[in-house]
Amino acid sequence: MNSVLIVDDEEEVRESVARVLARADYEVQTADDGDAGLEAFRKSPADVVITDIIMPEMNGIEFINALRKEYPKVRIIGISGGGDVGHLSYQPNAVSTSAYLAAAEEAGADIVLTKPFEREDLVQAVARMCNP
Amino acid sequence: MAARLGSLKSRLIVTVIGVHAILLPILFFVVSDLLVQSHRDAFIDQVRLYSRFLVDSLESKSMLVDQAEEMLDEVMLNGIGLYAELTINGGTFRSSLSVPDDSLQFREDFMFGDHNDGIYFLSIPVVMNAGTGILKLGFDEQPIINQIALVRNQLLVMLTVYLLVVLLLTLVFSSVIARPIRQLRRASQIITSGKHDEKLSVTSSISEFNLFSRDLEHMRSELVGVNEQLASEIALREQAESEREQMRAGMVRAQKIETLGTFSGGIAHEFNNVLTPMILYLDLAIEDAADDKQMAEDLSRVLKLARRGKSLVSRILTFSHQNSSMDVRRVNVAVVAQTAIDLLRAIVPSTISLEFKPPTGDRLEVFGDPEELDQVVVNLCNNAVLAIEKPQGKVVVEVEAVQQTGLGGGGRDNLPPGSYVRIKVSDDGVGMSDEQIERIFEPFYTTREVGKGTGLGLSVVYGIVLAHGGQINVRSKVGEGTVFEVYLLALNDWTVKKQVMNE
């Protein structure tokens, strides 16, 4: 059975994603921020990690970087709230969210999903990650 | 003015007269004295000489007393002799031509005019053959007196004429001085009255006035120069002030929108975190309600509504310039604009001409989303077209590569120096007041009637421009039209440009 680690600072996001994936027969773990996520992964590595991109404390990209460094082969799905990258759009010539997402991809997220996503999109993305 | 120069004139005249009043009498008396004296001396010399000659003649050896009488007559006949008498050996011979005795009293004179008798008497001892005697002679003083009087009169006349000439010259001189002074005064009055334009020049034969006039002209032109300098300084300062004002206005505007944007961005973010679980849970719940058709149906309606909420959020995000679905690549702004305008021409009413000015410069590429930039052009053109309420109008779109040195505008900061691509949309429509310009990018702000526009068009444009790291400027005057200028940071990559050109 494939396992998934969900990292997001919003409780209901974690819970709803977990339930959807549980019903799709995945083993699910959750963590509420990057540090907790790293710890959880170290304790019990998952096949796929789903992480929010902007979070307080250690933000999503930092988390992805750290995770990749330790576990180069891990599969990562980044989820973005759209309103997440607020301040970045004020940088001159920062092509804002797009660049941010590009950066997320560069950092090592294999797929990026924008919130709110459909159940089907979520499940398909995870499936794709497990069977590349 | 005349009184003051009159004082110059009268002062000169009074001075001249005063001086002469003292000098001339002195001169007159001194000179006339000298003349009188010399006349008298000359007379006496002449008289004595003659007398001496007479005596010598009388004393000559051959002279007889009888002959002496003849001699005496000759004295009288000479003209100036009035009295001749010889007393010798007890006898007196008097010329028969002498003036009768009674009126003549011999009184010896030592000086001309002595005894006031008009006759100059003198007596000389004579030594003749016949014996020793005394010769008494009297000479007419009158001619000399007349001569003296004449000379005195002449002198007086000369001095009077001289005085008059001097007075005349004084008058002339005072005019010569007064004229340039009057001119200079008039000139300085003109300057005082504020007319600084006329060049000032007073010419006179007197060098001091010319120099003074030149100095005055110098002062005037310096005054003009200073005035001009002040005027241009004031103009510069006013311009700087108005630029600062514009910048401030731009920053205020940006601040407002940013707040609004952040606000809605923040809420949108939260909303997404609400909608995500909502949609997932509803999906799960519908699955769970497989047996309960009613519940399944109710829930799927709710799910539909949740999805509507999703699209609402994305629209809010669009105008709060936090749209995450930008597709970024190299975009040629001129091409985007051209395409947009070609399509717009089809829908724009024929009474309004939509003109696309050929782009100048070659660095017309930016890093951005072509669809969003197309939206910018479309929205700006739409706004421009709607602003034209008269029967005929013109909307002009220009795309240009520009160098920016730093300007205020709609962004939060100054446009940093660099190369930009500028999209300029101008219309000759109704224009906007300053208050309208202030709020034009606000979401839902519209100056049109209900039904004619949502008021989101320009706020969308604003969001897209900022998301592209650019700035947007607006200038407008009520009744004259509006100009929007969008500045996008240019893609300064020559190799990239070459690649694009080869594609």
DSSP calls for B438-487: HHTTSTT--SSPTTS--S-HHHHHHHHHHHTT-EEEEEEETTTEEEEEEE
Token pair for residue B219? 């002062």
Percent pLDDT > 90 in chain B is 20
C-alpha distance from B468 to closest chain A C-alpha (Å): 5
What is the C-alpha separation between A18 and B183, in angstroms, rounded?
Answer: 105
With cut-offs at 50, 70 and 90, classify the pLDDT of residue A13. very high
This complex has an ipTM of: 0.85
What's the DSSP call for residue B100? P
Taken as a whole, chain B contains a residue count of: 503
Sort out which chain A residues have CB atoms less than 8 A from B277's CB and list them. Answer: 10, 12-13, 15-17
Tens of pLDDT, residue by residue over B139-153, are: 888 888 888 899 899
The pTM (predicted TM-score) of the whole model is 0.40
What is the C-alpha separation between B121 and B105, in angstroms, rounded?
Answer: 9
pLDDT higher than 50, residue A84: no
Token pair for residue A7? 């990292």
pLDDT at res. B416:
66
- Nearest CB among A20, A81, A99 relative to B272 is that of A81
Tens of pLDDT, residue by residue over B25-55, are: 999 999 989 988 999 899 888 888 888 888 8
What is the C-alpha separation between B429 and B381, in angstroms, rounded?
Answer: 12
Tens of pLDDT, residue by residue over A88-128, are: 332 222 334 455 555 566 556 788 788 889 999 999 999 98
Contact B367 A95 (CB under 8 A): yes
Under 8 Å between Cβ of A34 and A57:
yes
Other residues' Cβ atoms within 10 Å of the Cβ of residue B23: 12
Token pair for residue B442? 């606000």
**What sign does the CA torsion over B19, B22, B25, B31 have?**
negative
What is the C-alpha separation between B260 and B316, in angstroms, rounded?
Answer: 11
Which H or E element spans position B435?
A: helix B434-439
Residue whose tokens read 């549980």: A22
Sort out which chain B residues have CB atoms less than 8 A from A32's CB and list them. Answer: none
Taking the alpha carbons at both ends of chain A, their separation in whole angstroms is 16
Taking the alpha carbons at both ends of chain B, their separation in whole angstroms is 90
Residue of chain B minimizing CA distance to A97: B324
Contact B323 A97 (CB under 8 A): yes
HSE-CB for B68 with a 13 A CA cutoff: 29
Q: Which amino acid is at B397?
A: V
CB-based contact, A53 to chain B, within 8 Å: no
Residue of chain A minimizing CA distance to B266: A83
Most confidently modeled of B193-207, B300-314, B453-467? B300-314
Tens of pLDDT, residue by residue over B261-278, are: 555 556 667 788 899 999
Residue whose tokens read 């007596």: B123
Between chain A and chain B, how many beta carbons pairs sit less than 8 Å apart?
Answer: 124
Token pair for residue B371? 């669809």
Burial of A39 (0-12, 13-18, 19+ CB in 10 A): exposed
Sort out which chain A residues have CB atoms less than 8 A from B331's CB and list them. Answer: none
Tens of pLDDT, residue by residue over A68-83, are: 888 888 888 888 765 4
What is the C-alpha separation between B93 and B134, in angstroms, rounded?
Answer: 11
Tens of pLDDT, residue by residue over B413-432, are: 456 667 788 999 999 999 98
Under 8 Å between Cβ of B99 and B83:
yes
Most confidently modeled of B9-13, B42-46, B222-226, B245-249? B42-46
C-alpha distance from A21 to closest chain B C-alpha (Å): 10
Phi-psi map region of A48: left, alpha, beta (phi>0 left; psi -120 to 50 alpha):
beta
Contact B280 A101 (CB under 8 A): no
pLDDT higher than 70, residue B494: no
Residue of chain A minimizing CA distance to B262: A86
Q: Indicate the pairing of strand B481-489 with strand B418-427.
A: antiparallel
DSSP calls for A37-104: HHHHHHHS--SEEEEES--SSS-HHHHHHHHHHH-TT-EEEEEE-SGGGGGGGGSTT--HHHHHHHHH
Contact A90 B269 (CB under 8 A): no
Non-local (6+) Cβ contacts of B242 within 8 A are none
Sort out which chain A residues have CB atoms less than 8 A from B469's CB and list them. Answer: 91-95
User: Which A residues in the span 63-82 are in contact with B, Cβ-Cβ below 8 Å?
Assistant: 80-82
Query: What is the SS3 assignment for B392?
Result: coil
pLDDT higher than 50, residue B107: yes
With cut-offs at 50, 70 and 90, classify the pLDDT of residue B304. very high
Under 8 Å between Cβ of B167 and B13:
yes
Which site among B307, B322, B371, B462 would you substitute to test the A interface, given the most A Cβ atoms closer than 10 Å to its Cβ? B322
Nearest in space to A108 (alpha carbons), one of A83, A73, A84:
A73
